[in-house]
Amino acid sequence: MTTYEYGYARVSTTAQDLKRQLDWLASQGVPVERTYADKKTGSDFEREGLASVLAQLRSGDVLYVASLDRLGRTMHKVLALIAELREKGIHLVIGGAMVIDTRVGGPATDMALLMLGTFAEMELIFQRERRASARASRESSGKSWGRPREIDREAVLADLNDGMSVMKVAAKHKIGRATVFRIKGEAKS
């Protein structure tokens, strides 16, 4: 029976880069055509790349992941996925400072998987706490939080055309001077 090596990489946002993970997968001998990736949060298990790689895996195959948290950030879901893969005879190799290879198996491998899953979930909890703290701090100082509001560019340009200074336009529209200059520059081009 022929077995294959597959790779999976994930980053949380489209602005992040997969290069480090893809380089690691390539260094492990995973072919590009059997490498799958997502740019989506790890707490969401409805990911196209993950679903695609899971659909390809058969007994004896090996799934390479640069680190356990790339599979997901919710410990019970990650551990359930690992258990499901192992029940199907699919092996998992997890990179990082301590490489875990389920082909070796045994209690040490099981313990390492549990510990890595716990640390990944703890980091997610800490990130949420830091975001909540930052949000509370910004709100208590009267600063806005979240996605910036839409700017009425026409009104900004009208005020500039009426001779209002950049400082006064910025204050009136509650935007930064750099934003006023950018709107002004975009209007010229």
Sign of CA dihedral 178, 179, 180, 185: positive
Spatial separation of the C-alpha atoms in residues 113 and 147, rounded to whole Å:
37
Spatial separation of the C-alpha atoms in residues 144 and 155, rounded to whole Å:
21
Residues with a known catalytic role:
12
Location of structure tokens 């058969």: 58
